[in-house]
Chains A and B, each alone.
Chain A
């Protein structure tokens, strides 16, 4: 696992956007071999989306050959409801980039048969050959997607009841009316996320500090579902200074040193590649 620490949410967003841009461009996606990207909603990824939109407008990045899968959607909320994740994704991201609508996948929380909707979703991911990079955020209780504390770390896409914490946190989007917050959601499972070849998680703000510490400094634990990331071979967490508040100094220093070494290795590898010493594509970090 790598942990990248940046000054504030904006620089975190820029870092991740540049990183995703580089990954997509190096992948050289085509219509036959699209780049499959998993996407979150919520406030933490907004700076990343803003930065990605800017890259598209500057023509440094295109989503023409990118297929996206979103993490989750409320059950029973009309698709055009201002708080639906369909609306969020369209407003914050899809309307501003060049992705063809047919390449966008979001769970349908209004499907008649919710179980079959979840199964189909998993199958569709498989048909595309799995997710190349899953971008995620976390809740204050350490949940990734709607995998609330206590969710199975082997879970797949399914119906989930929202934790009371999450309902309270989301009430601000529903006129502070707790009864208006949907009680259920469809969400990809922890295992669905872990199956993707790479996971990038954005964690910003002091309120997420404890969750971050639990996820990376304690053991794997279904009460902090992000901690399952410890089992993933290629995970990247990008955080701002505020989010590190609960980490040990030692932990922070360690990850900062990894970043320096990683940069160095990438530089040498790039040089080797330029001199034609590396033929095949290399993916992955040091680990």
Chain B
């Protein structure tokens, strides 16, 4: 059923807001253009009102869920390449079917590969969608510049250092895949384009490559790493904005060196102007512009450990791409409830909320310390399929998985090998584990990932002009229907 004038009004529904609240409000969309409308403007300026009204019976009309870490689904593995045609068919199949889990956008992960495969694979993962499918946003290369001891299920033989810095990235991923954003997308379809690299900042050369990647609009995520607190902090200061599957494949929280996990609690005191790291494995100091600031803060002067360090200014820490956000307060303050400004923003973090990869207590701990950075991910393997039975399943290279409920092991080991949880289940789990409201859980699977990926004008939001991708939840978080670009593409059969 379509609307006579192409406009639809959703009524009697709760709309998740960007602050995590749920408000009872109508939403107007243009089903032809597949976008959300500014209803008041449509009414007064365009003198139109929707001809079709959909009563959602008090359920939740959420922005479509975004899964920004997923390895495959329905038997198709994003990291297995046979030929172009088979790969594209696989991508399309996943895009068409994944909507039953409420996911309308996803970022496919390519895990560590033999290096000659990358240029081809990443080239195939341009933004993609069909009128009835979820949107593939681009690609996420997880590896090969990761730490051997935290490799998880990644093949050790293929891990690499990035001794030549960004050149090493170009050589592995393909220079053409790492060009400035605009050039990479080429065909200007309306889908936003996302590229993401997970690497370990302590691996030789990675810190050097980081800054150049960020400059080119590639999102850098810290993961599969043993970075010390100093190195991890420095990576954030150089533009890394995300932590890959928090708690997994990284040092556990140690109170004297809280490492990557500790970034969630980054102290305003230490995150302030003083450059943190002196022991970087890469040649970090050379990368920083060495201009003196006009006025040096007294705190800064006092705490400068060497004359050489004095030359590094606050603004020197911030790259030109991320102009000085906040300057830390030079003194203590008296405003209850206010946190002294940070000189850098704490990173987003992806967290697998299947109850297996992270204990519910750990999930709550992370969320409590940095709610705005929390992003729910599935990190699901190719056997993700809500219809699939337990048992032994083929992986690749002759290896096999054992699936027990939502647990997934490499056959013959106790190594967790990714998950098979769906993102809608993660939302419900998250609300249970943390005790947060459903609206706040939804935010962690919609607005937060969109914000992290820089696509919050198009996806993960109900702002006017954003894509009309929706997940309709009942009030217990069960997906009832999924909409993509203004069309209903899936409904739960009762």
- A87 interface residue per 8 A CB criterion: yes
Q: Which residues of A contact B43 (CB under 8 A)?
A: 90, 94-95, 101, 104
The distance in angstroms between the C-alpha atoms of A91 and B26, with both chains bound, is 10
Which of B11, B26, B47 is in CB contact (< 8 Å) with A101? B47
B255 within 8 A of A: no
Residue pair B49, A90 in contact (C-beta under 8 Å): no
Query: If the complex has contacts A95-B39, A100-B49, A101-B49, are A86 and B26 also in contact, measured as CB distance less than 8 A?
Result: no
B40 contacts A86, C-beta separation under 8 Å: yes
Q: Tell me the complex Cα distance, A193–B176, Å.
A: 70
Q: Is A80 an interface residue (CB 8 A)?
A: yes
Please encode chain B, from 11 to 44, with 1 for each CB lying within 8 Å of some chain A CB and 0 for all others: 1000000000000001000000000001111011
Contact B47 A102 (CB under 8 A): yes
Q: Report the bound CA distance from A104 to B39 in whole Å.
A: 15
Chain A residue with Cβ nearest B46: A101
B39 touches A101 (CB 8 A): no
Which A97-130 residues sit within 8 Å CB-CB of chain B? 100-102, 104, 106
Q: Is B48 an interface residue (CB 8 A)?
A: yes
Report the bound CA distance from A100 to B43 in whole Å. 9
Are B47 and A90 closer than 8 Å at their CB atoms? no
CB distance from B263 to the nearest CB of A (A): 36
Contact of B41 among A80, A91, A102, A104 (CB under 8 A): A80
- Considering the chains assembled together, what is the distance between the CA atoms of A79 and B48 in angstroms? 17
Given contacts A95-B39, A101-B49, contact A90 B26 (CB under 8 A): no
A84 (CB) vs chain B CBs: closest residue: B40
**Residues on B with beta carbons closer than 8 Å to the beta carbon of A106:** 44
Expressed in whole angstroms, the Cα–Cα distance for A168 and B291 within the complex equals 52
User: In which size bucket is the chain B interface?
Assistant: 10 to 19
A79, B39: Cβ atoms closer than 8 Å: no
Within the complex, which residue of A90, A96, A100 is in contact with B40, where a contact is CB–CB below 8 Å? Answer: A90
Scoring B39, B40, B41 by chain A CB atoms within 10 A of each residue's CB, the highest score goes to B40
- Nearest CB in chain A: distance from B9 CB, A: 8
User: From residue B282, how far is it (CB to closest CB) to chain A in Å?
Assistant: 49
Q: Which residue of A lies closest to B41 (CB)?
A: A80
Q: How far is the CB of B465 from chain A (nearest CB, A)?
A: 14
User: How near does chain B come to A91, taking the closest CB pair, in angstroms?
Assistant: 8
Q: Which residues of A contact B47 (CB under 8 A)?
A: 100-102
CB distance from B211 to the nearest CB of A (A): 41
Residues of B within 8 A of A79 (CB): 44
- Name the B residues within 8 Å of A101 (CB-CB): 43-44, 46-49
Residue of B with least CB distance to A98: B49
Q: What separation, in Å, do the CA atoms of A101 and B48 have in the docked complex?
A: 6
Bound CA span A90–B11, Å? 14
* Cβ contacts under 8 Å, A104 to chain B: 43-44
Say how far A186's CB is from chain B's closest CB, in angstroms: 16
By a CB distance below 8 angstroms, the chain B residues around A102 are 47
Provide the bound-state CA to CA distance between A170 and B38, in Å.
26
Contact B39 A90, beta carbon cutoff 8 Å: yes
Please, what's the 1-or-0 string for A126-148, where 1 marks a CB less than 8 Å from any CB in chain B? 00000000000000000000000
Give the distance in Å from the alpha carbon of A109 to the alpha carbon of B41 in the complex: 16
Residues from chain B with a CB closer than 8 A to the CB of A87 are 40
Minimum CB distance partner of A90 in chain B: B40
CA–CA, A91 and B38, complex, Å: 12
Residue of B nearest to A108 (CB): B44
CA distance A24 to B155 in the complex (A): 76
In whole angstroms, what is the CA distance A100 to B5 when docked? 13
**Complex: how many Å from CA A106 to CA B48?**
16
Shortest CB-to-CB span from A101 to chain B, Å, is 4
Roughly how many angstroms separate A90 CA and B49 CA in the complex, as a whole number? 11
Residues of chain B within 8 A (CB-CB) of A86 are: 40, 44
A100–B46 CA distance with the chains assembled, in angstroms: 11
A95 CA / B26 CA spacing, docked (Å): 8
CB neighbors of A among B37-96 (8 A) = 38-41, 43-44, 46-49
Q: Give the complex CA separation of A91 and B43 in angstroms.
A: 11
Give the complex CA separation of A129 and B38 in angstroms: 33
How far is B48's CA from A87's CA once the two chains are assembled, in angstroms?
16
Report the separation of the CA atoms of residues A91 and B47 in the bound assembly, to the nearest whole angstrom. Answer: 16
User: How long is the Cα–Cα vector from A87 to B38 in the complex, in angstroms?
Assistant: 12
B13 to chain A, nearest CB (A): 13
Which B residues lie within 8 Å of A96 (CB)?
Answer: 11, 26
Closest to A87 in B: B40
In the assembled complex, which residues on chain A have CB atoms less than 8 Å from the CB atom of B38? 80
Interface residues of B in 353-405 (CB under 8 A from A): none
Output the least CB separation between B180 and chain A (Å): 35
Closest to B55 in A: A57
Minimum distance in angstroms from B224 CB to a CB of chain A: 47
Cα distance A58–B39 when bound, in Å? 23
Q: A56–B47 Cα gap in the complex (Å)?
A: 20
CB of A132, distance to nearest CB on chain B (Å) = 23
Which of A90, A91, A100 makes the CB contact (< 8 A) with B44?
A90
B contact residues around A100 at 8 Å (CB): 47, 49
B42 — nearest CB in chain A belongs to which residue?
A: A101
**A100–B47 alpha-carbon span in the complex (Å):** 8
Roughly how many angstroms separate A104 CA and B44 CA in the complex, as a whole number? 8
- Which residues in A have their C-beta under 8 angstroms from that of B48? 101
Chain A residues closer than 8 Å to B46, beta-carbon distance: 101
A94 neighbours in B (Cβ, 8 Å): 43
The listed residue with most A CB atoms (<10 A of its CB), out of B11, B38, B49, is B49
Determine the chain B residues whose CB is within 8 A of the CB of A90 once the complex forms.
39-40, 43-44
Give Cα A79 to B42, complex, Å: 12
* Nearest CB on B from A85, distance (A): 11
Chain A residue nearest in CB terms to B49: A101
Contact code string A65-105 (vs B, CB < 8 Å = 1, else 0):
00000000000000110000011001100111000111010
B40, closest chain A residue (CB): A90
**Which A residues form the contact surface with B (CB < 8 A)?**
79-80, 86-87, 90-91, 94-96, 100-102, 104, 106
Task: Give 13 A-B pairs besides A94-B43, A95-B26, A101-B43 with Cβ atoms closer than 8 angstroms.
Answer: A79-B44, A80-B38, A80-B40, A80-B41, A86-B44, A90-B39, A96-B11, A96-B26, A101-B46, A101-B47, A102-B47, A104-B44, A106-B44
A to B CB contacts below 8 Å, 17 in the list: A79-B44, A80-B38, A80-B41, A87-B40, A90-B39, A90-B40, A90-B43, A90-B44, A91-B40, A95-B40, A96-B26, A100-B49, A101-B43, A101-B49, A104-B43, A104-B44, A106-B44
The 6 closest A-B pairs by CB, nearest first: A101-B47, A90-B40, A101-B43, A102-B47, A101-B49, A95-B26
